[in-house]
């Protein structure tokens, strides 16, 4: 199971929100590159980079941050937030993203998302399935769709999706543990997907439990920034499990 730290960007700065609420914004570092290099130094190879300004604006905003991180680190960057058009996707890949996550676009413009899967390949396009009370949330989690999580993922699995990032919004930033039951039911229904768990990680002891469920990766954000999981401990975990 891959360890994937998250860097969320507002106005070029590394921030965290709670339950996706922009009014809860807390700045942790004004230099995302410094944060990314610290992750790379402990053996991390993948990074989840989220353009929160882009999610709100519904088009890519912080592509220069992406370009800087891709240029100055060797991290495999999955980029999301505001990717709604072919032009957004082109910018993201040209600026160094190795994968992109599409959530809102998969709900609102399924034909575009399916075309991206065909054009770029399932190894490049990740389905973002962010859940609020079983329904898929969109537009920076400010809206809730009528799509239910398991049928939504199944539909896209049939369309060729390989990777799925799933966040239980009620867990996000709460440091109360991941949504184990949600991931178990999702993997039971769709055993072939490469599921990336996101939201709620609070302690290193939760990581083997997610691995045992069959998760392909886990995104960790606030637990690192609030020092619930130290970089030193995370480094040890990565060394022990590679």
**DSSP 8-state symbol, 98:** S
Q: Does residue 29 contact residue 13 with C-beta atoms inside 8 Å?
A: yes
Catalytic residue, candidates 8, 88, 168, 172: 8
Whether residue 21 lies in the annotated active site? no
Identify the CA nearest to 209 among candidates 232, 239, 177.
Answer: 177
Q: Does residue 105 contact residue 125 with C-beta atoms inside 8 Å?
A: no
Q: Does residue 66 contact residue 49 with C-beta atoms inside 8 Å?
A: yes
Pairing of strands 217-220, 2-10: parallel
Whether residue 8 lies in the annotated active site? yes
Catalytic residue, candidates 53, 88, 130, 168: 130
Identify the CA nearest to 179 among candidates 158, 192, 196.
Answer: 196
Token pair of 87, please?
């032009």
Token pair of 46, please?
């993948």
How far, in Å, are 39, 65, 70, 102, 232 from residue 51 at the CA level? 19, 9, 14, 12, 27
Burial 79-102 (b: 16+ CB within 10 A, else e): bbbbbbeeebbebbbebbbbbbbb
d(CA 44, CA 25): 25
Catalytic residues: 8, 130
């Amino acid at each position: 199971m891959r360890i994937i730290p998250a860097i969320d960007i507002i106005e070029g700065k590394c921030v965290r929100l709670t339950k996706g609420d922009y009014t809860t914004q807390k700045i942790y570092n004004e230099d995302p590159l410094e944060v990314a290099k610290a992750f790379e130094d402990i053996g991390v190879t993948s990074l989840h980079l989220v353009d929160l300004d882009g999610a709100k604006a519904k088009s890519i905003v912080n592509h220069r941050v992406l370009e800087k991180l891709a240029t100055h680190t060797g991290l495999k960057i999955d980029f999301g937030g505001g990717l709604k058009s072919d032009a957004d996707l082109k910018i993201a890949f040209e600026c160094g993203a190795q994968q992109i996550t599409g959530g809102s676009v998969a709900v609102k413009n399924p034909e575009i998302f399916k075309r991206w899967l065909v054009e770029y390949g399932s190894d490049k396009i990740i389905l973002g399935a962010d859940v609020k009370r079983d329904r898929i949330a969109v537009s920076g989690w400010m809206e809730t769709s009528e799509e239910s999580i398991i049928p939504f993922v199944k539909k896209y699995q049939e369309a060729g999706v390989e990777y799925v990032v799933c966040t239980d919004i009620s867990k996000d930033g709460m440091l109360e543990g991941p949504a184990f039951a949600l991931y178990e039911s999702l993997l039971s229904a769709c055993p072939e997907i490469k599921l990336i768990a996101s939201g709620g990680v609070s302690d290193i002891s939760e990581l083997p439990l997610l691995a045992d469920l069959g998760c392909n990766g886990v995104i960790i954000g606030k637990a690192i920034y609030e020092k619930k999981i130290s970089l030193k401990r995370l480094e040890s975990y990565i060394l022990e499990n590679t």
